[in-house]
Amino acid sequence: MAKKPEIPHVVVSRLPIYLRALEHARQEGLTCISSQELGERLSISSAQIRKDLSMFGEYGKQGRGYPVDALIHALRQHLHVDRVWDVVLVGVGDLGHALARYKGFAERGFRIAMAFDKDPAKIGTTAGDLTVEDIRLLARRVQEAGIKIGMIATPAAAAQEVANLLVFAGVRAILNYAPIHLTVPNDVRVEYLDPVIPLQRMTYYL
Amino acid sequence: MAKKPEIPHVVVSRLPIYLRALEHARQEGLTCISSQELGERLSISSAQIRKDLSMFGEYGKQGRGYPVDALIHALRQHLHVDRVWDVVLVGVGDLGHALARYKGFAERGFRIAMAFDKDPAKIGTTAGDLTVEDIRLLARRVQEAGIKIGMIATPAAAAQEVANLLVFAGVRAILNYAPIHLTVPNDVRVEYLDPVIPLQRMTYYL
DNA sequence: TAGATTGTTAATCGATTAACAATC
DNA sequence: TAGATTGTTAATCGATTAACAATC
């Protein structure tokens, strides 16, 4: 039952890219798209796209391509974004504020439901349409709300401690903006968004 | 001569991760670190680390590990972050402001040198310690300054047009926060930081 | 029907790992 | 010296690509 454990992560990691491109294609009015057209838009080979998608079912029609609406629907289901996930934000500096106000989450399956900071000067202030709460209340509040996703926007020095707290509170997926590798239990996922890493990946070639 | 073209990108992409971890290790006072210790901190196998590093030279000492300082120095050279790169920022909304004020760039090799927006209400205002400039001046200003790195923090609808402008102005590396795939010439690098993509990669497993 | 495109197989390609002689 | 760890080789593992019968 669980989660088709046979799908390689490298394939899973491409699905959100496909989904995003399909949503753009739909906005343009496309109702059907071939693996070749999709591949050209994403700089991915059409064979790869067909192989990836075929792992989840037979969504395509020979001679026509993939029905955009149905494929969007299916990918959302497989990715579990056919619902809205509540997210807890920790760290409400400049970046935390920007995240709290970012409109792009809601339309794509995520809602920042709570924001915490440890700085007394920030607690009680507003971030987006949230009130910043005391981090000492995090565990109880997150547990009670059953929140499974956390975003860390603190300085690096605080990030591991925050991660431990989130895991203790029941969070199972962490988006980490702090520039540090996190150590978490095996059943917890972490994704990293330190902007300097991709910059340094590119300067190698400059 | 050029840029050892034989190093696979997957190896290059891990170097900034190694560099970051080594800088943390140095802060802790370590002067030497084994591939095993480094691997444990990063959840990477020690064999992989040794293989990756050996592509650039013989930095390790048998029986002791890698001298932290020397390896940091070498990695910075290989990644070309043994200097400070000027960066141009386009789009000064909430995210653009947060980026303009982020302290983490300067210490790791990057300086946002200019910020542009197309909104007349924003032009002339302040972002970090920069004055926001009219995007119509971008090409000339960036060309004259010889800036090679751009950051796009505009809405998705504007991002491709901005990318074209940056490429025209001589930019060869783009960090794209907008939720859209960019099409650029072969000799231009793009890295993506749409936060929804990693979130959706994780919800698959929830 | 004719043309186009899928899903899938087999072949290729590339990355990771295990193991160990060399050596600090 | 003895113990530890590197750099490297060969083996394993996994991902991508090419090609095509099936079929819309």
Residue nearest to nucleotide C7 (CA to C1'): A54
pLDDT tens by residue, B12-25: 999 999 999 999 99
pLDDT tens by residue, B192-204: 999 999 999 999 9
Question: Given pLDDT bands bounded at 50, 70 and 90, which one contains residue B4?
Answer: very low
Q: What is the pLDDT, as a whole number, of residue A200?
A: 98
Hey, of A97, A149, A151, A201, which one would you mutate to test binding to chain B, going by the most B CBs within 10 A of its CB?
A201
- What mean pLDDT is predicted for residues A164-177? 98
pLDDT tens by residue, B60-90: 999 999 999 999 999 999 999 999 999 999 9
Q: What is the pLDDT, as a whole number, of residue A2?
A: 38
Residues of B (138-197) whose Cβ lies below 8 Å from A: 148-149, 151, 156, 172-173, 175, 179-181, 183, 189, 191-197
* Chain B positions in Cβ-Cβ contact with residue A113 (cut-off 8 Å): none
pLDDT tens by residue, B126-159: 999 999 999 999 999 999 999 999 999 999 999 9
Instruction: Say how many CA atoms lie within 13 Å of A166 toward its Cβ.
Output: 35
Q: What percent of chain B has pLDDT over 90?
A: 97
| Mean pLDDT value across chain B | 96
Interchain CB contact of B21 with A (< 8 Å): yes
Q: What percent of chain A has pLDDT over 90?
A: 97
- What mean pLDDT is predicted for residues A7-26? 98
- What mean pLDDT is predicted for residues A167-196? 98
For the domain covering B85-198, report its CATH number: 3.40.50.720
Sheet holding B126-127: strands in order across? Answer: B126-127, B130-134, B110-117, B85-90, B149-152, B173-176, B189-192
Q: Which CATH number fits domain A9-78: 1.10.10.10, 1.20.1530.20, 3.40.640.10, 1.20.210.10?
A: 1.10.10.10
Q: What is the pLDDT, as a whole number, of residue A5?
A: 53
CB atoms within 10 A of CB A2: 5
Which tokens is B183 given? 């099409």
pTM (2 d.p.)? 0.96
Residue nearest to nucleotide D7 (CA to C1'): B54
What element of type H or E holds B189? strand B189-192
Q: What is the pLDDT, as a whole number, of residue A6?
A: 85
**Domain locations in chain A as residue ranges:** 9-78, 85-198
Q: What is the pLDDT, as a whole number, of residue B132?
A: 98
pLDDT tens by residue, B29-42: 999 999 999 999 99
pLDDT tens by residue, A96-105: 999 999 999 9
Instruction: Say how many CA atoms lie within 13 Å of B80 toward its Cβ.
Output: 15
Identify whether the C-beta of residue B22 lies closer than 8 Å to the C-beta of residue B32: no
Q: What is the pLDDT, as a whole number, of residue A169?
A: 98
Alpha-carbon distance of A126 to A133, in angstroms, equals 10
